[in-house]
Structure 1
Amino acid sequence: MTSHERPHIIFGTAAFGTGSPLAKIQDVETAAPIIATLQARNVTDVDTARAYPVGSPGAAERLLGELGVPTWANLSTKVNSWAPGTHTAEGIQQSVAQSLEALKTDKVDIMYLHAPDRLTPFEETCRAMDAEYRKGKFARFGISNYTADEVEEIVSICEKHGFVKPSVYQGRYNPIIRSGETQLFPVLRRHGISFYAYSPAAVGLFTGRLSQDPSQLAGSRWDDSTASGKIYHDAYYKPAVIAAAQTVADAGAAAGVSGHALALRWTIYHSALSREHGDAVLIGASSLSQLVQNLDAVDAGPLNEELARLVSNVGDLVGDEAAAYHV
């Protein structure tokens, strides 16, 4: 199986902040070595969101602002999106203002619509984003978690009214979730929209440590009583998915490399992503050691033919149980 030049790497900060069980990097002292490592290893793009960490909106942005990340990184964030009615003109303006204040900056690289608000007309939302763009609040308009048909609708609205068009789409993509290759990517390519893959290793699924006993999930990232846990649980907590991921973990153990690293390297070097189209991969970390492990996996390069093919075939093992690329 052939490999390709690696796409751009972006650091995701969903684990930054306070007030949430998912906030593992809570203060400047803990975060500073992580920031120093990113700089030392030439990772200059950082991604966050108004919603991070889940359960404590705005805390991640405040910490990044305290760290001075906007002074050296290409920083992107996302507007409030997870409740119906958040994408009104007033809601967009307020969210953008709150993000920039928390980040202690006047402008970010990409401002995303984090998820569809299907209650507010898309035209109102696009008009509001265009207004903020023309005020110089962000350099690029991004969208995330929309269906391919919704992408077409948004582009059509923007073209009709002369609004700034989205140039980046951030979505789920990994060896398990691949429906975007046929359903979404052709639309993005046609409109010149780059794809940024989040969850490139399926939030730790390929470690082989996910228990199939539901009673063992309480308090973990897979706990479906939490907002983010329900997303992960619904996407991945299925017998066929867990079994397929275990085949990768077992192959990795035999080869002396983690299943997580195999999945990450497949997404980066062997998937349908394309540096030519400006695609990128987001990697996260809940500790300094985890960041180093992920960056080391990136730097390890493409997989050998046998391992690349094994990981690529995981999607066939999962079949219809694979989650969608959108929400």
Structure 2
Amino acid sequence: MEYRLLPGTGLKVSALSFGAATFGGTNEFFAAWGKTEVDEARRLVDLCIDAGINLFDTANGYSDGRSEEVLAAALKGRRDQVLISTKAFFPTGSGPNDMGSSRFHLRRAVEDSLRRLDTDYIDIFHLHGFDALTPIEEVQQTLDTLIREGKIRYSACSNFTGWQLMKSLAVADKHGWPRFAAHQVYYSLVGRDYEWELMPLGVEERIGALVWSPLGWGRLTGKIRRGQPAPEQSRLPKTAAIGPPVSDEHVYNVVDALDAIAAETGKTVPQVALNWLLQRPTISSVILGARNEEQLKQNLAAVGWNLTAEQVAKLDTASALTPVYPYWWQRNFTERNPTVV
């Protein structure tokens, strides 16, 4: 396993990490992702640790906190061997203060996650989304206090826009509070919006990306191909409703290129798609999800080799889309606005 620094910190994370959103499955939405309980979760965690994975990601919103409980049970006796990342933002109750990033909600969320995770500290604590109703100064000061108290080691964010991330960094810098150590983002061969603004910002401000849904919400598993019926058992119909729309033709074009390169390399479609991500700028770790051991074993084999420059270029071309304004305009003047990728 390769280990990469989170830029701006001394913390090393495995290039592949494990996402526990499939643990629990206590409601309809997350049941479509997976219903992994403790015994199977322990086997998956064993495979990850044996492969060198040291970062396990969850959130208090995954299956109403059950994901955190299952992960804690699966890691029992091995907590000091790994890094745990969790997140807060989404509703945890019906009260008016049971959502967001207020000092009230973040404190309660951290305390509850510590209890469910059966740990004294959280290695990386993410804001799961941006809260426009809470002053950024309140958010950043709360995170600083939680770090000083030893309840979290590093703060991070997820699903922020460029200006939201930059303003949060500026507020932290102004007051001498810790900066975000990472940004957890959606990025895949069928979802390259991250490259337009957030990736250049990550390069400039030294913010590493932890990538979620690297197989495009299940579109790049190798089960979806041109001229073939959709798989009978798939989480895509349930989860795609809140995800980014992608045309069938675009998916087919990307999968055609993946198929060709998989044949050249002797790898699978998911392995090629994951390896492409690992070669992009700012990527600190790609978060794997798996509902069973076979899926996990296959995805773990995405490291230890690299696509050639020609293969990367082929995938770049097949997956390229015209960016939104003003990025398409600026690309006409790359001498003064060089692109990152």
Q: Common fold, TM-score beyond 0.5? A: yes
Instruction: Please tell me the TM-score bracket, short chain as reference.
Output: 0.7 to 0.9
Whole-Å separation in 1 of the counterparts to 2:156 and 2:291: 25
1:319 to 316, 319, 322: 322
* Equivalent residues in 2 for 1:86-101, closer than 5 Å: 86-101=100-115
Cα gap change, 1:286 to 1:222, in 2 (>3 Å): same
Residue 77 of structure 1 aligns with which residue? 86
TM-score (ref. length: structure 2): 0.79
TM-score (ref. length: structure 1): 0.82
Whole-Å separation in 2 of the counterparts to 1:6 and 1:75: 16
Q: What is the DSSP-based 3-state SS (H/G/I as helix, E as strand, rest coil) of the residue aligned with 2:273?
A: helix
The count of aligned residue pairs is 302
Residue 120 of structure 1 aligns with which residue? 134
Q: What is the DSSP-based 3-state SS (H/G/I as helix, E as strand, rest coil) of the residue aligned with 2:116?
A: helix
> What is the letter of the counterpart of residue 27 of structure 1?
E
Whole-Å separation in 2 of the counterparts to 1:258 and 1:207: 9
Deviating more after overlay: 202-211 vs 33-42: 202-211
Whole-Å separation in 2 of the counterparts to 1:185 and 1:23: 28
Give the % identical residues. 27
Whole-Å separation in 1 of the counterparts to 2:207 and 2:195: 14
Deviating more after overlay: 290-299 vs 138-147: 290-299
Whole-Å separation in 2 of the counterparts to 1:30 and 1:63: 10
Residue 60 of structure 1 aligns with which residue? 67
Whole-Å separation in 1 of the counterparts to 2:149 and 2:167: 24
Residue 275 of structure 2 aligns with which residue? 265
Q: Residue 224 of structure 2 contacts residue 230 of structure 2 at CA under 8 Å; is this kept in 1?
A: no
1:302 to 301, 306, 327: 306
Task: Compute the RMSD of aligned alpha carbons.
Answer: 2.9
Q: Residue 203 of structure 2 contacts residue 282 of structure 2 at CA under 8 Å; is this kept in 1?
A: no
> What is the letter of the counterpart of residue 69 of structure 2?
R
Q: Residue 258 of structure 2 contacts residue 273 of structure 2 at CA under 8 Å; is this kept in 1?
A: no
Whole-Å separation in 1 of the counterparts to 2:113 and 2:213: 23
Say yes or no: does 1:10 pair with 2:17: yes
Cα gap change, 1:305 to 1:154, in 2 (>3 Å): closer
Residue 324 of structure 1 aligns with which residue? none
* Equivalent residues in 2 for 1:1-327, closer than 5 Å: 7=4, 8-20=15-27, 21-22=31-32, 24-52=34-62, 56-67=63-74, 68=76, 70-81=79-90, 85-210=99-224, 220-223=234-237, 226=238, 228-232=239-243, 235-252=244-261, 254-255=263-264, 256-269=266-279, 271-273=280-282, 279-299=284-304, 301-316=305-320, 318-319=321-322
Q: What is the DSSP-based 3-state SS (H/G/I as helix, E as strand, rest coil) of the residue aligned with 2:125?
A: strand
TM-superposed CA distance for 1:320, in Å, is 5.1
TM-superposed CA distance for 1:27, in Å, is 1.9
Cα gap change, 1:303 to 1:219, in 2 (>3 Å): closer
TM-superposed CA distance for 1:51, in Å, is 1.3
TM-superposed CA distance for 1:244, in Å, is 2.5
Q: Residue 20 of structure 2 contacts residue 67 of structure 2 at CA under 8 Å; is this kept in 1?
A: yes
Structure 2 spans left out of the alignment, 5+ residues: 5-14, 93-97, 325-341
Deviation sequence 1:13-61 (CA, Å, 0-9, x none): 1111131313525222111211111121111111111111xxx220110
Whole-Å separation in 2 of the counterparts to 1:94 and 1:116: 18
Q: Residue 143 of structure 1 contacts residue 168 of structure 1 at CA under 8 Å; is this kept in 2?
A: yes
Deviation sequence 1:225-271 (CA, Å, 0-9, x none): x5x43233xx14323432323323431464343222211111113x2
Cα gap change, 1:127 to 1:34, in 2 (>3 Å): same
> What is the letter of the counterpart of residue 178 of structure 1?
R
> What is the letter of the counterpart of residue 67 of structure 2?
A
